Every structure is written in structure tokens, then in C-alpha cells.
Amino acid sequence: MTQPATDKISRRRVDVLTSLAVVFFLIAVVFAGAPMLNARPSTLAGLLLLIGLAGVAFLGLFVLRAGVEPHAEPEPAAEKFITALGEPAAVAGPDGRIVTANAAWREAVGASPRLPKGGTSATSLFAALTAARKGETARAAIKAGGAEHQALVAPLAPKRFLIRLTGAGAATLALPAAALEVINAVATAGPPPPQVLDAFAAASPFGAALLEGEDPFAAGIVEANPALKAVAGGGEVGQLFGELIEPASRADAAERLAAGAAANAGAPLEVRLAHDPARIAHLYLTKTEGRWVAYLVDVSEQKQIELQLSQSQKMQAIGQLAGGVAHDFNNLLTAVFMQLDVLAARHPVGDPSFEGLNEIRQISTRAADLVRKLLAFSRKQTVQREILDLGELISESEVLLRRVLYEDVKLATEYGRNLPQVRVDRGQLETAVMNLAVNARDAVRAHGGGTVKIRTARLTQEQARELGYPLAQGDQALIEVSDDGPGIPTDVMEKIFEPFFTTKPVGEGTGLGLATVYGIVKQSDGWISVDSRPGEGAAFRIFLPVHHQEAVIQAAPQPIAPKRPAARDLSGAGRILFVEDEDAVRGVAAKLLRARGYEVIEAASGEEALELAESHAGEIDLMISDVVMPGMQGPDLLKQARQYLGAAPVMFISGYAESEFSDLLEGETNVSFLPKPIDIKTLAERVKLELQKAA
């Protein structure tokens, strides 16, 4: 083993020659600058020459230093392995430097510290090294010492390649099987398992842990960053990682991981956390040599937002469907009610058919009430807002609420100080409070009775946000209906405002109570929230914007006088323009009005009605029109036909209006509204009242 000593002598000789070259180069530079130093450079040219010489000296030293081949330190394990081979062999780095070589290699190729650089050898070696980087074994031609050698280039370890001479001038002995196994094991070995979390994972805001074991869910935690405890509620060293995940979710995640649906594609495993199953996290796993690096990212808020968006879109779609169905259904019910009026005239009390007709009317009335709830949910009810005092509104409703609640249910009320005014539809808000009170009554009665409490208050913006209205702006009026019943189960909470969802037995509820409340509150520009825990009762809170009196613009007088006595004599005289696109409604209504003494001009569309209004300009005493029609809408018809109607009153009838009725008819006077479904008695009473008012 004299070769290492020879290598040292060779390196020492190279160092001495390099040192002499540097010394002679510096002497040459000094002699070149000596004349200028003796002349004491006072001119710009002399000064520039000295600067140039200094630059040349610096560059020369840099080039000389770069030209010196740094000798790679031999690797003991690789050196022993190469020495054991009987054929010429060497271990080289990716840049062509020889790391170590055996005696047979130096005898065949020489003692050069690098693989051949030029000619066909360089091209062949470059291609072979490229293939070796990909884990393949390739052949190359090496020309050295005046002879050409055939070589095999194979990957040995990261950034290390084994080169064996197999051609002329070299032994062609095949490697033993054991040696091949060692080479392949070294070549295919991955990076060593991590010992600690890297700096990024340790300081990350999401949970990270280093795990020891083949199964990540049964692996122990070797190290965890501080964020893991905040996310998962645990993460002590030695704790099983699977204990941080809810059992059912853990089993599902393990099954998906085994099926290969996870980390390779970068897809996370969605899991629920053991300390709080309501919280959802994304789990990312990376495996290296029996150890796992796990990242746990809490996505509960993101999932909640996605759920709320999905719920909102679903309810909006159902609302649009419900609104469209309700509009058509109201037209059909109107025709049914009017035909019942015709039949009732032919079959009075005492007639065998009277009882059957009366039952049909009751069923139709229930259907009409169901449609009204659908319209409330879909926010397509026609709104007639008025300014109301919150305390007075609830106080007036309290009398009716006490009749609705049973003896085993106590009603408690709490009125706050400085209660504000709100601008809402009285009937809608009373319906919302009634539905909430009835729901609370049923909840407490199912568990032997209890208390239903209604509380009103004026809240600041901060108080409203604390109580469940996150987007509150300015002061809010609060109506809270609470009970001390069993509360709402967690799995039901997400569905309570969906239409037709109910926990009551079949036949005891339509599932539209809370859906109606939701629609009414939203149409009133308000917000509704629920606070409930199993066994602790439930509290529904309605938030409404406070109406400031100084911002009120004096509105036109309400067209409907609710306290006006109904007309007993339903006959009358006058010319009525009746506009309705539904033939069944228009035909029977016109027939019944004519039977009561009125002259009726029928129009099936807004365009036809405008032509009739123009041809009968000044001769029409009352126009009755549907609001929503194909083509020209009712409000548009009024604006264009007003010049032909003069001061004649106008009465709109509709199954629903797309927006607030007062907005549709802004600037118009002497206009009233009658919601469908309607019967002939109600229609005839209103027609006579409107004509009397205009007389």
C-alpha cells in the first residue's frame, strides 16, 4: 500500500510548481511597473497604467488558482470497494474528477485526476454519465496512454459513478453477484431518514410532526412543532399520531391511504380531529425510510364557508322554484275559488251539494296558506312596509300568542329600554314571531312543558355581532324567541331552515315554519341566527335594522285603508278594464263582475290592454291588472296607460311580486293591491270600495 504516499508526493510536486509560477508572475508584474514607480506617476496615463497592471496581476492569480485541480478527498468505503476489484475501476464525481481508483486503473489509464476531457472520449463519457444519472448502466470509450479502452459507467451513490474498463488492455472479469448486489443497493438507496423536522416545518403555522413506524396512524411522534398542539389538541413526543384523529375518520383515512388515493398525487386526506369532531383538517403524509412527516392543516372555517355557500345556493334555487310554482298555483286557486262562488249560488245552504262544496273551499284555503308560506320562504311575497314601534308590535302579538300556547307552557316577555322603530311588513313579522313561538312551544311540550321567552332589545353593532350577526352595520333591533327545551341536535342544525324539513311525526308539520321565518327576515333586510346546545334549549334571534325617523321621506298615502268597513251590497256600476294573462281567472272573474252590474273589458296581455285603454280613453272607471305577465308587466302598463286613464283608480292582483310593491309603483297614487288567491266576494267588495273612493 504505497500508492497513497505516491499521491502525496505528486500533489506536493504540483503545489511547488504552481507556487514558482505565481512568484515569477508577480516578479514580472513588478518589473513592468518599476519604471512608472521611479517616475512617480503624475500624469493620468501613468496612473491608469499602474491600475491596469494591478488588475492584470489580480486576474493572473485568479486564473492560476482556478487552473489548479483541487484534489477530491478519497472516500474510505469506496476505496476499499475499488481495491477489491480485480479489473481497472474508479469512482468519479459528476464533473469527471476521480474520487478514487485502484492500481489496475492507474496502470491502464494513468494517474490523471480527471477523466479525459477532449475528443470522442469526452462526448462518449458525457452521454454515459447522463444515462447513469437516470439510474442506468451505459458504455463509453476512454482514450488514455495512447490506447482506447471500453468502459462501463454505472450509478454507485448520489453524485458518484463506478467506471470499469472492459475492453482491450483490461481484464473482462464479470463482477461477483455479491458485488453487484452491493452496487445496486448503493445506487438505488434513497436519502437517509430525517432525524428532525426541518426549519420550515418547525416554524410553520400548521401542525407538523415526525413519525416513527410503518403505519402513520400507529406511529409514535418523534418530534412535533408547537402548532400541532393548537390544531389537534395534542402532539406529545411518544404519543401515537392516530390518537389525534377521530376513530371513524382515522379508519376511513387509513383505508384511503392503503388504496393509494393520497400523498403521491399531493391530495390530502380529510380527517376529523379527536379533541373536537366538529373540526376538519387536511392531512398530508410523506414517507422516507420508515419515518413519516405529517402536516395537519385546520380547514374548519373554509369548510364552514363552503357549506354556507352551498346551503345559500341550494335555498336560492329552491326559492326560485317555489316562487314560480306558487305563482301558477295561486292563479289556479283563484279560478277554483271563483268557480266555488258560482256553484255556491246554485247550491245554497240546505242543498245536498253544499257540504261538499264547503269542504272543497276549506281544503283550497289550506292550500292557499301553504302557497303563502312558499312565497315567504322564496322572498316573493308582496311587501307593504310601514314604520312600527318594536315594543308595541310584540305587545300586540302577545295576546294572540298566549292563546296559541297551552297551559303547560309559560310565556315570558322581556322588553328592553329605548326600543327602536323598524320598517317592516306588519303581517309578515307577526307571522315570523308566531312560527318561532309555536316551534318553541312544541319543543318544550315534548319534554313535559317549560317556558317560552320573547325578548326585545336595542343592540349596538358590537353587541349584534357578539350575539350572532357577524356583518351587522349600525344599531340593530333584536327579537329573541327562546325556550328551555331539549335543544337542537348538531346533525339537524344545518337543515332547520330548509323547506319541508321537519323532525315532527308525519302529518304533524309541513316543514315550512322556519323556512317561512327565514324568507320573511331576509326580505325585511334582516338576519336570523340560532344558538342551541343539546339539553340547554334553543334561542332564535331576529336582527332588523333600526329605522331612523330623520331619514324618512314622506311617502304617498297608503292605497289600502285596512279599517274601512266592507261593502255589503256587492253590485255596482262602472267600466272596468280587466287585465289577466290566465284565461281561467280572467274569464270567470269578468263573468261574475258582469253579473253584479259592471261593464268589463277583458285584455289577455299588457300590450292589448294599452291599446284598449287608448281606444277607451277617459271612459274607464277602474283598471284591474295582474302584476307579473308575459311581455309588458303590470307596473309598466300603468306608467304608459296613465295618460288614458286619468285619475281612475288602479288595483293590482298577483300571486307574487318580484320586489317590494312600493318600489314598483314609485311616484304613483290611487293604486291598491289585492294578493291572490281571491274569491269573487273579496274582489267585488274591493272593486266597489275603490269606485266609491274615486267618486
The residue type at 191 = P
pLDDT tens profile 441-462: 888 877 777 889 999 999 999 9
DSSP 119-152: HHHHHHHHHHHHHHHTT--EEEEEEETTEEEEEE
Q: What is the DSSP letter of 32?
A: H
Say if residues 585 and 327 touch (Cβ distance below 8 Å). Answer: no
Identify which of 9-13, 320-324, 492-496, 559-563 has the greatest average pLDDT: 492-496
d(CA 482, CA 531): 9
- Angle (CA) 247-494-316 rounded to 5° is 135
| Short-list 6, 126, 4, CA closest to 73 | 4
Query: What Å distances lie between residue 323 and 314, 318, 502, 559, 560, CA to CA?
Result: 14, 8, 21, 25, 25
- Range with lowest mean pLDDT among 46-50, 153-157, 190-194: 190-194
Question: pLDDT tier at 484 (50, 70, 90 boundaries)?
Answer: confident
What average pLDDT does the structure give for the chain? Answer: 75
Q: What is the pLDDT of residue 98?
A: 83
pLDDT tens profile 193-212: 555 676 666 667 788 888 88
Question: pLDDT tier at 233 (50, 70, 90 boundaries)?
Answer: confident
Q: Which residue has the higher pLDDT, 171 or 210?
A: 210
> Is 418 a residue whose pLDDT tops 80?
yes
On the 0-12 / 13-18 / 19+ scale of CB atoms within 10 A, 529 is middle
- Angle (CA) 136-141-147 rounded to 5° is 150
Q: What is the pLDDT of residue 374?
A: 63
Question: pLDDT tier at 187 (50, 70, 90 boundaries)?
Answer: very low
> Is 656 a residue whose pLDDT tops 50?
yes
Question: pLDDT tier at 144 (50, 70, 90 boundaries)?
Answer: confident
d(CA 389, CA 383): 18
Identify the H or E element spanning 334. Answer: helix 300-346
Report the Cα–Cα distance between both ends of the chain, in Å, rounded. Answer: 131
Instruction: Using DSSP, state whether 457 is helix, strand or coil.
Output: strand
Say if residues 270 and 256 touch (Cβ distance below 8 Å). Answer: no
Question: pLDDT tier at 286 (50, 70, 90 boundaries)?
Answer: confident
Q: What is the pLDDT of residue 563?
A: 41
Q: Which residue has the higher pLDDT, 218 or 512?
A: 218
Say if residues 88 and 109 touch (Cβ distance below 8 Å). Answer: yes
Q: Which residue has the higher pLDDT, 620 or 117?
A: 620
> Is 536 a residue whose pLDDT tops 90?
no
> Is 485 a residue whose pLDDT tops 70?
yes
CA atoms in the 13 A half-sphere facing the CB of 508: 9
Q: What is the DSSP letter of 518?
A: H
d(CA 233, CA 51): 68
Region 658-686 average pLDDT: 73
d(CA 615, CA 617): 6
Q: What is the pLDDT of residue 322?
A: 65
Give every CB contact of residue 29 below 8 A, 6+ residues apart in sequence. Answer: 53, 56, 57, 60
> Is 184 a residue whose pLDDT tops 80?
no
> Is 31 a residue whose pLDDT tops 70?
no
Q: Which residue has the higher pLDDT, 263 or 652?
A: 652
Region 26-30 average pLDDT: 65
Q: What is the pLDDT of residue 206?
A: 80
Q: Using CA atoms of 291, 297, 303, 306 in order, give the dihedral in degrees to the nearest 10.
A: -110
Q: What is the pLDDT of residue 97?
A: 82
Q: What is the pLDDT of residue 443?
A: 83
| Short-list 383, 324, 393, 375, CA closest to 516 | 375
> Is 306 a residue whose pLDDT tops 60?
yes
- Range with lowest mean pLDDT among 205-219, 307-321, 463-477: 307-321
- Range with lowest mean pLDDT among 120-134, 214-228, 439-453: 120-134
> Is 293 a residue whose pLDDT tops 70?
yes
Region 374-390 average pLDDT: 66
Question: pLDDT tier at 9 (50, 70, 90 boundaries)?
Answer: very low
Q: What is the pLDDT of residue 16?
A: 58
> Is 647 a residue whose pLDDT tops 60?
yes
Percent of the chain with pLDDT over 70: 68
Say if residues 234 and 240 touch (Cβ distance below 8 Å). Answer: no
Question: pLDDT tier at 14 (50, 70, 90 boundaries)?
Answer: very low
Region 358-381 average pLDDT: 72
Identify the H or E element spanning 89. Answer: strand 89-92
Q: Which residue has the higher pLDDT, 236 or 560?
A: 236
> Is 652 a residue whose pLDDT tops 70?
yes
Phi, psi of 6, deg, nearest 5? -60, -40
pTM of the model: 0.41
Q: What is the pLDDT of residue 480?
A: 93
Say if residues 443 and 486 touch (Cβ distance below 8 Å). Answer: yes
> Which neighbouring-strand residues pair with 90?
101, 163
pLDDT tens profile 35-57: 655 655 555 565 566 666 666 66
On the 0-12 / 13-18 / 19+ scale of CB atoms within 10 A, 177 is exposed
Question: pLDDT tier at 171 (50, 70, 90 boundaries)?
Answer: very low
d(CA 42, CA 40): 6
Q: Which residue has the higher pLDDT, 173 or 419?
A: 419
Instruction: Using DSSP, state whether 341 is helix, strand or coil.
Output: helix
- Range with lowest mean pLDDT among 314-328, 410-424, 604-618: 314-328
Q: Which residue has the higher pLDDT, 464 or 70?
A: 464
| Short-list 112, 90, 82, 85, CA closest to 172 | 85
Residue length of the chain: 695
Q: What is the pLDDT of residue 13?
A: 43
| Short-list 168, 198, 164, CA closest to 179 | 164
d(CA 576, CA 571): 13
Say if residues 139 and 132 touch (Cβ distance below 8 Å). Answer: no
Identify which of 171-180, 363-372, 672-681 has the greatest average pLDDT: 672-681
DSSP 560-590: --TTSPPPS------EEEEE-S-HHHHHHHH
Region 324-341 average pLDDT: 79
Q: What is the pLDDT of residue 186?
A: 46
Q: What is the pLDDT of residue 267?
A: 72
> Is 382 a residue whose pLDDT tops 50?
yes
d(CA 599, CA 507): 47
Region 253-268 average pLDDT: 69
Q: What is the pLDDT of residue 120?
A: 61
Region 278-297 average pLDDT: 83
- Range with lowest mean pLDDT among 279-288, 327-336, 399-408: 399-408
| Short-list 180, 96, 110, CA closest to 140 | 96
Q: What is the pLDDT of residue 142?
A: 79
Question: pLDDT tier at 556 (50, 70, 90 boundaries)?
Answer: very low
Region 329-357 average pLDDT: 83
Region 171-179 average pLDDT: 46
pLDDT tens profile 577-596: 999 988 888 888 888 899 88
Region 54-65 average pLDDT: 59
Region 384-407 average pLDDT: 80
> Is 557 a residue whose pLDDT tops 50?
no
